[in-house]
Each structure stands twice: as C-alpha cells, then as structure tokens.
Structure 1
C-alpha cells in the first residue's frame, strides 16, 4: 500500500494539472510543468515526514533520503507524462485567419 502512495502522484498529478489548465490560456501551458514539479516535491516531503512520524519503532534512526530523491530522479518521467497529458487533454488554440481581404 505504501508503494501505491509513493508512486501514484507521479501519474495523477500531471493528469490533474492538465485538467486544471484545460481552460487556461494556451500561453500558460508551461506552468503545468512547474506546478507538477512543486506539488510532487511537496507531496514526497510530506509523505516522508508523516510516514516516519507514524512508524512504531522510533529507536532506530530513519533515513529520509530516498523519498527526497524520488521527485528529482523521476522528474524526466514527470515532464514526459505532463507533456503527453498536455497534448491529449489541453485543447490547442487555433487562430482563425482573417480572410476579409480575400472576400473583396
């Protein structure tokens, strides 16, 4: 169960960010990458602190290092997923050509 909680945000956060930015101006699409990275880093840090706090055996030192590295290690995968979700979900803006000159 802990594995699902660790790796699920790397799939769900880019998907959710693409849906959130679906109605935003096309020029703001790059912000999905920044927000996905920030949210994944914050999730990993919070999950690590909460899981280490809930451990029953507090006599052993807990290594916090691996969960801090997950967002950094998986950032290329996160960027690729965000790119694919942006292409699939966010509607691209198509500008209409002004053909008023051709009508004359």
Structure 2
C-alpha cells in the first residue's frame, strides 16, 4: 500500500538510500556513460565539420577531373604518337644539319 502512494522518483530515492553501494556504482557508470557519449558526439561533429570544409575542394577536383580528362580512342593515340615521332624526326634532322655545319666550320 505504501508503494501506491509514492511517486517513481520518491521510490528511486528511497531505494538509493537503502542500497548505497548500488547507488554509487550506478552513479559512476552514469558519469562514465555520459562522458563517453559527449566524447563520441564531439568526434562526430568534428568529422562532419571537416567533411563540410573539404567538400568544395573535393567537388572542384572531381569536376576538373571530369571535364579535362577524356580517354582518347586507340586511333587518336596512334595518330598522336605518329605526330610526335614525325616532329622528333624533323628536329633530329635539323640538329644533324647544324652539327655537320659546325664540323665543317672547324675544318
């Protein structure tokens, strides 16, 4: 009958007064749990803010990569290689001519 007249808070307080060791253990566990919860929330907020700070750079890098890098077809690659080889061959021919001219000037 006495339990029916007490509120849940009063019942908890009376239980704590009758079981002080359990009350101390529960209080310590609650403080530790609160500390861990606050720490996890802080880490989560820090990570979210870091990602928000990085997002414009990541988006810009992604857009730049998508707009500038296009994989050429194999035919285009071959044409590019042939053009480079032709230009190198022409440069080599002009350098050889200049070398021969220098040699002829020495003699």
Which of the two has higher C-alpha Rg? 2
Structure with the larger helix share: 2
TM-score by length of 1: 0.32
Which of 1 and 2 has higher RCO (CA within 8 Å, sep 6+)? 1
